């Protein structure tokens, strides 16, 4: 034994030999109810079966109106509207259509009635004799959360390999998921050995110490998605250790600390050798040299050093990677806490504000993006990495100011690939494949223009865009210096409707937001005409389809794949390009290269074709894009 201990093994060699002896792999999967899914690791991606919100809803108590009827209103010259006798309450479908010069009372969370495109706060209106006087003008979309603006149907809300916490389970509940497929949780027998150890809560005598390793290791196991089986503290004698190890082998892994040194009272290594095969005893690391790695009955058997610092270090360096594989968790990576804000952030004076942020890497430094979906969002908290605190007398944080981020998780790691831009279900297919290859992915959907700005500032690896200029040219004209266009795929844009194709100039439409490529196509189609509903602006293809499917509008323009999801009819108008922009400085990153490779693989192109997309991927710097 002494000879084996003195033969110290290099760390990489010890780790490689241990993994080759154990050959770790996930232990299987099982389906569990959402109510018991917290702390488990997802075995498959979960896509939302619904839009959240599922309808256009009011963000506050007030009056649903046509925004154009309020233009020019102020306290000195209010706009008077006829008030409908109906009141829109939560959980009810409004029966009234809002026509010119009319308004309807609506509660926070109420469904926006047909014809309305904004909500005027109750504080900005006065009711008298069946009429409501509007004291402040509203813009289209004011005080409204549009269908799918938080979560779009088929958007991935939780990815394979995620350790579920209250943040993720809350999101899953919000989209109505009752059960999830998770990896079988490894059962890890854990105990400590040492005559001097006393469990917390017992009386401590002179020469004794409280055992902290058992608590540290058990909690670390839970964080990794494992189930610790607490076998307590064992006296450091050979027979007791042999019996405890034999009992522990009913679990998937055996892990204990103490007794690995070469003193006369240290029997752990001898006990392990009597029931299994020692891979190495002594590793060239500091702290943690006395680590013992072994295999018994085909199962990992590890003896951690007794000193807490050494035990924690060796656990995370040698044991946690193996347990992650058994538990189906992704590999762990280093994290950082420093951050700068990418743009000016305003705060309401007089209140302390806790602003949720998600962290992106820019040239090795953290950038903290505020979560901009509002207080009604169910995804802001689940996708946030932390929050910044704005003091009640602080009115703003200037762009590029350094801020202190309080983390929601104990550790935050940079993603292998960060994506900012426009959402698409084709993109989800690509990112799913990338994550299955072991790359971690972080996404922030802020639209094409937001993605393009983030790429220009080198705050993301990829941005998704579908921008069209007045000449009908997609994406290429918008690529600036220092950016590279990666060709994605073509999507068919068309008119979506329910049964019979409506008269587009007479039927109520749902428009798209200004600045989007689809809005340019709509305005070109209409040629200056303004059908009913023109000012009703939806923020996504999903929101357009939801408005038509729910009869809040009779037609809109969206992509074919979304029309199929909502059971709508589709008349094609024009193909558009959905492409990707990368900062040229990030093209050589492993995850970006992997993304390009996946995009061009035949299997992925067939999958995209199944989603009604057409691929002709290629890439090059500005001026050489094909």
Task: Dump pLDDT digits (tens) for 355-369.
Answer: 778 887 777 788 888
Does residue 322 lie in a domain region? yes
Q: What is the CATH number of the domain that holds 300?
A: 3.40.980.10
Element (H, E) at 272: helix 268-275
- On whether both 444 and 584 belong to a single domain, the answer is yes
Q: Which of 327, 355, 388 is the endpoint of a domain?
A: 327
Task: Dump pLDDT digits (tens) for 246-266.
Answer: 999 999 999 999 876 655 446
- On whether both 266 and 139 belong to a single domain, the answer is no
- On whether both 298 and 223 belong to a single domain, the answer is yes
* Cα–Cα distance, 533 to 338 (Å, whole number): 46
Does residue 420 lie in a domain region? no
38-42, 98-102, 306-310: which has the minimum mean pLDDT? 306-310
Neighbours of 91 (CB within 10 A): 8
Does residue 307 lie in a domain region? yes
Neighbours of 596 (CB within 10 A): 18
- On whether both 348 and 388 belong to a single domain, the answer is yes
Q: How many domains does the chain have?
A: 5
Look at residue 121 and tell me whether its pLDDT is greater than 60. Answer: yes
- On whether both 199 and 213 belong to a single domain, the answer is yes
Contacts 24+ apart (CB under 8 A), 526-532: 529/505, 531/504, 531/505, 531/506, 531/507, 532/115, 532/506, 532/507, 532/508
Does residue 397 lie in a domain region? yes
CA angle centred on 437, ends 432 and 440, rounded to 5°:
65
Q: Which domain holds residue 590?
A: 435-621
Task: Dump pLDDT digits (tens) for 79-105.
Answer: 999 999 999 999 999 999 999 999 999
User: How many residues does this entry show for the chain?
Assistant: 626
The single residue listed with the structure tokens 């085909």 is: 298
- On whether both 469 and 544 belong to a single domain, the answer is yes
- DSSP bridge pairs for 325: none
Q: What is the CATH number of the domain that holds 441?
A: 3.40.190.290
- On whether both 74 and 89 belong to a single domain, the answer is yes
- On whether both 193 and 311 belong to a single domain, the answer is yes
- On whether both 272 and 392 belong to a single domain, the answer is no
* Cα–Cα distance, 328 to 27 (Å, whole number): 8
Task: Dump pLDDT digits (tens) for 381-395.
Answer: 557 777 787 776 778
Does residue 424 lie in a domain region? no
- On whether both 192 and 274 belong to a single domain, the answer is yes
Q: What is the CATH number of the domain that holds 156?
A: 3.90.105.10
Neighbours of 616 (CB within 10 A): 12
pLDDT at residue number 283: 83
- On whether both 276 and 261 belong to a single domain, the answer is yes
- On whether both 493 and 606 belong to a single domain, the answer is yes
Q: What is the CATH number of the domain that holds 408?
A: 2.40.340.10
Does residue 529 lie in a domain region? yes
* Cα–Cα distance, 350 to 353 (Å, whole number): 9
pLDDT at residue number 353: 65
> Could you tell me what percent of the chain has a pLDDT over 90?
58
- DSSP bridge pairs for 303: 256, 292
Q: Which of 413, 446, 470 is the endpoint of a domain?
A: 413
Does residue 347 lie in a domain region? yes
């Amino acid at each position: 034994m002494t000879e084996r201990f003195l033969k110290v093994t290099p760390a990489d060699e010890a780790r490689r030999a241990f993994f080759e002896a154990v050959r770790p792999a996930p232990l299987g999967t099982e389906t569990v109810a959402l109510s018991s899914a917290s702390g488990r690791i997802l075995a498959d991606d979960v896509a939302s079966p619904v839009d959240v919100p599922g309808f256009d809803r009011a963000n506050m108590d007030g009056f649903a109106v046509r925004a154009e009827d309020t233009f020019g209103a102020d306290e000195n010259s209010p706009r008077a509207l006829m008030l409908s006798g109906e009141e829109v309450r939560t959980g009810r479908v409004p029966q009234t259509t809002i026509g010119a010069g009319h308004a309807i009372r609506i509660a926070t969370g109420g469904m926006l009635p047909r014809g309305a495109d904004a909500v005027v706060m109750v504080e900005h209106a006065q009711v008298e004799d069946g009429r409501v006087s509007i004291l402040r003008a509203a813009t289209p979309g004011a005080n409204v959360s549009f269908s799918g603006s938080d979560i779009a149907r088929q958007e991935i809300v939780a990815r394979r390999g995620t350790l579920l916490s209250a943040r993720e389970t809350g999101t899953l509940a919000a989209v109505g998921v009752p059960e999830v497929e998770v990896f079988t949780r490894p059962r890890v027998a854990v105990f400590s050995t040492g005559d001097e150890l006393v469990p917390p809560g017992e009386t401590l005598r002179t020469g004794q110490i409280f055992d902290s390793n058992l608590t540290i290791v058990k909690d670390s196991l839970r964080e990794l998605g494992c189930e610790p089986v607490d076998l307590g503290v064992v006296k450091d004698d050979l027979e007791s250790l042999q019996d405890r190890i034999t009992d522990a082998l009913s679990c998937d892994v055996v892990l204990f600390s103490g007794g690995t040194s070469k003193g006369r009272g240290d029997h752990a290594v001898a006990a392990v050798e009597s029931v299994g095969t020692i891979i190495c005893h002594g590793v060239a690391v500091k702290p943690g040299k006395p680590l013992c790695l072994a295999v018994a009955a085909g199962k990992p058997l590890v003896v951690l050093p007794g000193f807490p610092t050494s035990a924690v270090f060796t656990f995370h360096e040698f044991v946690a990677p193996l347990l992650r594989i058994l538990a189906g968790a992704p590999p762990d990576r280093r994290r950082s806490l420093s951050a700068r804000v990418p743009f000016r952030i305003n705060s309401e004076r007089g209140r302390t504000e806790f602003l949720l942020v998600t962290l992106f890497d820019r040239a090795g430094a953290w950038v903290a993006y505020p979560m901009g979906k509002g207080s009604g969002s169910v995804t802001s908290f689940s996708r946030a990495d932390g929050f910044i605190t704005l003091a009640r007398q602080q009115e703003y944080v200037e762009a590029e100011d350094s801020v202190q981020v309080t983390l929601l998780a104990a550790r935050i790691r940079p993603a292998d690939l960060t994506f900012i831009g426009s959402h698409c279900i084709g993109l989800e297919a690509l990112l799913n494949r990338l994550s299955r290859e072991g790359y971690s992915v972080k996404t922030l959907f802020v639209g094409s223009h937001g993605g393009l700005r983030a790429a220009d500032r080198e705050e993301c690896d990829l941005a998704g865009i579908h921008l069209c200029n007045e000449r009908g040219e997609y994406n290429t004209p918008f690529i600036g210096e220092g950016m590279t266009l990666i060709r994605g795929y073509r999507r068919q844009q068309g008119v979506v409707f329910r049964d019979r194709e409506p008269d587009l100039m007479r039927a109520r439409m749902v428009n798209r937001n200004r600045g989007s490529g689809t809005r340019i196509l709509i305005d070109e189609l209409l040629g200056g005409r303004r059908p009913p509903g023109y000012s009703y602006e939806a923020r996504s293809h999903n929101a357009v389809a939801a408005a038509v499917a729910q009869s809040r509008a009779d037609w809109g323009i969206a992509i074919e794949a979304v029309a199929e999801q909502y059971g709508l009819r589709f008349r094609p108008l024009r193909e558009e390009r959905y492409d990707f922009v990368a900062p040229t400085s990030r093209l050589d990153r492993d995850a970006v290269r992997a993304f390009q490779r996946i995009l061009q693989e035949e299997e992925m192109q067939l999958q995209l074709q199944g989603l009604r997309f057409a691929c002709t991927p290629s890439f090059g710097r500005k001026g050489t894009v094909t």
